[in-house]
Chains A and B, each alone.
Chain A
């Protein structure tokens, strides 16, 4: 039996953050993780995170993972990989399988940060090779550099389904459809919009009827469901695909906590331990942090981890009560701000029709994945003026404000409440630097100049695909639904370190198309 001040199970965002804070207070900390690499799911997250500076907004998930690892290393945290925790007992004893030997550890405090596992749905053929979890797709393409399939159908319009669909496109796969049984897109509208403008069709109120194929997936049939989830006859649609990707939610992986004897509760979001505001369970010195105590974003998991790490330090006398409450004050505030807005945990299942500002939400966005042309005009970030200026197609209250932070001219205003929709300060002059376009984690900001040339407008858009078009390339402009609407020519391509792999394409389109043109494809060969 080896003793540690603090044992942490799981080296994901929550576990590592907890380890760092506890180690900073002088605790002897060990972290076990069953995987060969630390970071949990962070290394599969290649999109820029939402939130504010203190939530590491506009940094890509895998970069945050690298930063966390470095910090953990700097503070002397011991991370043991390929270490499978198989048991956790009441007296905070942990049994671990390391190199095919069972080892016993005892922690004066234990933090369980085991994260979540994917939910699945059943349909005819769901066990066929080719039906995979969205996590599997992410693992294959973002960790192992292999495309999960060539033609993919995605089931699930929550953030995971939307983000992974976009990643599939980035990896060079074709996403033939995005399907969800719910009548509305579940994830952030901006995530949906960036998928839709690439030409992916959304099928809300649809479900998979059957995955076809004898020994592996060759196709899929979907059909419409009514408000009571019954199939509407005659609505079947067939797609040829080799992969069906399931993104239908996550559940806390809380078995260890239950095993240890924690008081648990059944919630619609899963089976979770009863915790106080620091993550401590009813067993003193035993904490839960991150998705294991309720599914949220990685940004929240990191803050919960930091709080639990500090609380464990207090529990063992490395900090007194006052120091603890002082230290977690800002963290709690940051956590609360992430839990605001339309997608707040408290709003799950509620039908929201207006923004906090009282603007009617875009129905089209919820039904088809993109904001309709007439709807977009009513949002405060969408204005028309002379010269170059940003058009901010941000239509939902999400806790996020990098656009306000990066604008060197202070044109963009969100204010202290970070869920507010961005507005434009008409008195300030946009320099067209494009910092906001690259910084927007939702890729919802465009620059527009309707006076670029007589009869032509210039539209600058964020672009994260290969091959990167070059100046002079001719092609087609696509509208928000991904439909080709007019010819376009690339007049500028900006690539900067500070843009972090988001390139800025500027295309020239007829001025009457300026309000609709939101994406670009290089002209397809006539004879193809």
Chain B
């Protein structure tokens, strides 16, 4: 698991706004760079925490586009390499699916 959890807390600099904080990162849930940076300062050091906290990567596309971007922002904020951050947990369904389909077991053989 991630080795990030508490190691960096004391080293984090004070949150300072940046010129591009209003840049949309998660296109589906419209989460901005500033919100993600702020979340790190609020104590969210793992991608899974960020995801639960802000819903980035929880929209229709399930983080297809933003996951790597979020990873980069969080890593930079923590002052570590993106490679030291665990990716988020992978779960089924990996593609958008309607609830009624998810519950619709195919009975007849194809």
Do A and B interact directly, with beta carbons closer than 8 Å?
Answer: yes
Contact of B69 among A99, A100, A122 (CB under 8 A): A122
Residue contact A97 to B92, C-beta cutoff 8 Å? no
Q: In the complex, what's the smallest C-beta–C-beta distance from B61 to chain A, in angstroms?
A: 10
With A86-B97, A127-B27 known to touch, is A98 a contact of B106 (CB < 8 Å)? yes
With A120-B69, A122-B23 known to touch, is A34 a contact of B104 (CB < 8 Å)? no
- A101 within 8 Å of B by Cβ? yes
Residue contact A259 to B101, C-beta cutoff 8 Å? no
- B16 within 8 Å of A by Cβ? no
Chain B contacts with A in 90-108, Cβ cutoff 8 A: 90-95, 97-98, 101-106
Q: In the complex, what's the smallest C-beta–C-beta distance from A15 to chain B, in angstroms?
A: 16
Q: Once the chains are docked, how many angstroms separate the CA of A255 from the CA of B89?
A: 8
* Chain B residue with Cβ nearest A118: B65
- A378 within 8 Å of B by Cβ? no
* Chain A residue with Cβ nearest B93: A86
Q: In the complex, what's the smallest C-beta–C-beta distance from A320 to chain B, in angstroms?
A: 34
- A251 within 8 Å of B by Cβ? yes
Residue contact A95 to B106, C-beta cutoff 8 Å? no
- A85 within 8 Å of B by Cβ? yes
Q: Once the chains are docked, how many angstroms separate the CA of A127 from the CA of B61?
A: 15
- A452 within 8 Å of B by Cβ? no
Q: Once the chains are docked, how many angstroms separate the CA of A524 from the CA of B94?
A: 53
Q: In the complex, what's the smallest C-beta–C-beta distance from B57 to chain A, in angstroms?
A: 12
User: Chain B residues with Cβ under 8 A from A97's Cβ?
Assistant: 93, 95, 97, 101
Contact of A122 among B33, B97, B105, B106 (CB under 8 A): B33
Contact of B91 among A98, A117, A259 (CB under 8 A): A259
With A122-B25, A127-B24 known to touch, is A267 a contact of B106 (CB < 8 Å)? no
20 A-B pairs within 8 Å (CB atoms) are namely: A86-B93, A86-B94, A86-B97, A87-B94, A97-B95, A101-B101, A102-B105, A120-B69, A122-B23, A123-B23, A124-B20, A124-B23, A127-B24, A255-B94, A256-B90, A258-B90, A259-B91, A266-B87, A268-B83, A271-B87
Residue contact A87 to B93, C-beta cutoff 8 Å? yes
Chain A contacts with B in 332-374, Cβ cutoff 8 A: none
User: Chain A residues with Cβ under 8 A from B65's Cβ?
Assistant: 120
Chain A contacts with B in 74-127, Cβ cutoff 8 A: 80, 84-88, 95, 97-103, 117, 119-120, 122-124, 126-127
What 9 pairs across the A-B complex have the smallest Cβ distances?
A87-B92, A101-B106, A86-B93, A255-B90, A259-B90, A258-B90, A103-B106, A266-B83, A100-B101
* Chain A residue with Cβ nearest B101: A100
Q: In the complex, what's the smallest C-beta–C-beta distance from A102 to chain B, in angstroms?
A: 6
Q: Once the chains are docked, how many angstroms separate the CA of A202 from the CA of B66?
A: 28
Residue contact B110 to A98, C-beta cutoff 8 Å? yes
Residue contact A34 to B95, C-beta cutoff 8 Å? yes
- A497 within 8 Å of B by Cβ? no
- A227 within 8 Å of B by Cβ? no
Q: Once the chains are docked, how many angstroms separate the CA of A280 from the CA of B106?
A: 30
With A97-B97, A122-B69, A266-B83 known to touch, is A259 a contact of B92 (CB < 8 Å)? yes
Q: Once the chains are docked, how many angstroms separate the CA of A124 from the CA of B33?
A: 12
- A527 within 8 Å of B by Cβ? no
Q: Once the chains are docked, how many angstroms separate the CA of A99 from the CA of B98?
A: 12
- Beyond A103-B105, A259-B91, list 7 extra A-B contacts (CB 8 Å): A99-B106, A102-B106, A122-B24, A127-B24, A258-B89, A259-B94, A266-B85
* Chain B residue with Cβ nearest A2: B109
User: Chain A residues with Cβ under 8 A from B104's Cβ?
Assistant: 100-102
User: Chain B residues with Cβ under 8 A from A127's Cβ?
Assistant: 24, 27
Residue contact A256 to B68, C-beta cutoff 8 Å? no
Contact of A102 among B83, B87, B94, B101 (CB under 8 A): B101
* Chain A residue with Cβ nearest B92: A87
User: Chain B residues with Cβ under 8 A from A256's Cβ?
Assistant: 90, 94
- B5 within 8 Å of A by Cβ? no
User: Chain B residues with Cβ under 8 A from A123's Cβ?
Assistant: 23
Residue contact A119 to B68, C-beta cutoff 8 Å? yes
Q: Once the chains are docked, how many angstroms separate the CA of A87 from the CA of B94?
A: 7
Chain A contacts with B in 232-253, Cβ cutoff 8 A: 251
* Chain A residue with Cβ nearest B67: A251
Q: Once the chains are docked, how many angstroms separate the CA of A84 from the CA of B25?
A: 27
